[in-house]
Structure 1
C-alpha cells in the first residue's frame, strides 16, 4: 500500500494539506510557547517552502495572474486588519505577537514572479521597457520597505499610526514573515520546469540557514513532498486556504488568550 502511494506521488492538494497540518502544529507552539516545548516549532520549518513551491505552481497555471495577485493582496489586507483588531480587543497576557500574514509573503512572491515574466518578454521581444519593468518589480519589495522604516522612526504618535496604515496596505520585504527568503520564490519560478533545479535551490537556502546557526535549515525536509509531487491538481479547494489560514490563527490566539490569562 505504501509503495503504491509513493509510486502514485502527491498532488497539489496533498502537498497543501501536509503544509496546513505542519502549519497548525507550528502555530500551536507560537500561541502556547510558554508551555509547548521549542522542538515543536521544528515541524513548521518546511511550511513556508512548501507554500512557496505551491505558489509557483499556482502562478504558473492560473488563468488570470492579475486575479491571483488580487486574491492574495486582499488576504494581506484582511489578515492585517484582523490581526490588529484581535491584538487590541484581546491583548495577550503572555506576550504572544499576532503578526502572522503568509499572504504578504506570497503576494510579494507574485510580484517577483511577474518580474521574471517581464524579463522573459524582454528576451523574446527585445523591448527595453520590459527589462526596466523586470528590474523594478524585482526591487519593489525592498523599495517599499524604505518609507515604512523611515515613517516608523518619526517622533510622536503620527509616525506609528501612519506606519500601521502602510503596514496594512503596502506589503514589503521588511514585513514579510520570511524576510529575504521571499526571493527564493522567483528562483523556483525560474526553474519551474526542472524539479531537480528547484530542489537544488531549496537545498542552497537550507545550507545558508545552517551556516548562520538558524534551525530554519529544517526547511530541507520540504524536499520529500516536493520530490513526490506528481504535477496533478487533485481535489479543487481553491478558496479553502484563504479562509482556513486566518480562522485557525485567530482561533488559536483566542484560545491562548482565555487559557493563558
Structure 2
C-alpha cells in the first residue's frame, strides 16, 4: 500500500531516498517507538533510544505525504482513502481500548491517518481559496471556507464537551465521540495543530530546500526551547520532553531524490493499525 500518493515515475534514478524508502524508514522507526510504548514499562527491557528514534518518523510521513499530494492525479480519491482509513482505525482503537486494554493502562490513541487527511484537506483548501480570489468565484470561496471551518467546528464541539464532561449524558458523550471520529479535529488529531502545520509547510516549501530547512529547524527549535524551559537536564530533554529530537529527520528529507520508488498499494494502510494492535495483544500475553 501506498499511504501517500507518490510522484508518477516508474523507475528510480539518482542518488538518495525515494518516497517509498522514506516511508519504509519512517515505518521502521515508528515501530521501534511503539515497541517502547507498548512493550516497555516493565513488560520487556526495551531501550529508551527506541522512542528517541521514533521522533524521526512522523515528519518523514508528513513530508512524503506533501510530496505525494503534489503529484496525485485524483485528490478526491486520495483523501477518501485516507479518511476511510482514519475512521476505521479510530473504531479499531476504541474496540482495543474497551475489550483488550493494555495491561499497564497505556491507551491506543494512534491516528496518523486523520492527521494526513487534514493536511491534504487544508492544502487543497488553501489552493482553492487562492484560485477563488483570482477568479472572483464565490462558489469556490465558499467551498474553501467550508473545508477550513468544518474541522474547526468539530474542535470547538469537542473542547466544549471536555470542559463539561461531568454534565454530559452517555448519549451526549457518544455523540461527541462519533463527531470526533467522522470529522477529524486539527486540535485532537495525532500531533495536533503542529503536525498539520508541518505537513502544510512541507507542501508549499517542497521545491525550496533552504526555506524548508529553515522552517523545519524553527519548528524543531520550538520544541527544544519549550523543553529547555523545564531545565537543561538529561531527564527533561531526552525523556520527558524529547520531541525536539525530530530535528534528525531533516537530513533524510534533504536527501529525497524526487522519485516514487517501489509501490506497495495496501501494505502501509494495513501495517499501521495492525502492528499497534498486535503489540497490545503481545503486551497482554507477556504481562
Tell me if TM exceeds 0.5: yes
Shift of 1:170: 1.8
Aligned to 2:178: 165
Aligned to 1:248: 275
Shift of 1:136: 4.7
1:99-118 correspondence to structure 2 within 5 Å: 99-118=109-128
Change (3 A) 1:78 1:48: same
Question: Which of residues 175, 188, 193 is equivalent to 2:188?
Answer: 175
Aligned to 2:35: 28
1:201 aligns with 2:221: no
Question: Which of residues 61, 75, 96 is equivalent to 1:65?
Answer: 75
Bigger shift: 26-35 or 9-18?
Answer: 26-35
Shift of 1:19: 0.4
Separation in 2 of the partners of 1:208 and 1:132? 34
Question: Which of residues 48, 54, 59 is equivalent to 1:49?
Answer: 59
Cα contact 2:101–2:107 (8 A) shared by 1: no
Change (3 A) 1:217 1:166: same
Aligned length: 254
Cα contact 2:103–2:283 (8 A) shared by 1: no
- Say what the alpha-carbon RMSD is for the aligned residues: 1.9
Shift of 1:155: 2.6
Aligned to 1:227: 254
Is the partner of 1:8 in helix, strand or coil? coil
Identify unmatched segments of 5+ residues in structure 1: 1-6
Shift of 1:33: 3.1
Shift of 1:156: 3.1
Alpha-carbon deviations, 1:185-208, whole Å to 9, x = none?
Answer: 222212222232222221111011
Question: Which of residues 38, 50, 54 is equivalent to 1:40?
Answer: 50
Shift of 1:120: 3.4
Shift of 1:165: 1.5
Cα contact 2:33–2:50 (8 A) shared by 1: yes
Separation in 2 of the partners of 1:234 and 1:209? 32
Change (3 A) 1:192 1:116: farther
Aligned to 2:286: 259
1:3-152 correspondence to structure 2 within 5 Å: 8-35=15-42, 36-122=46-132, 124-131=134-141, 133-152=143-162
Shift of 1:158: 2.3
Cα contact 2:154–2:180 (8 A) shared by 1: no
Bigger shift: 153-162 or 169-178?
Answer: 153-162
Cα contact 1:90–1:254 (8 A) shared by 2: yes
Aligned to 2:235: none
**Structure with more contact order per residue of length (Cα contacts < 8 Å, sep ≥ 6):** 2
Shift of 1:90: 1.0
Shift of 1:149: 2.4
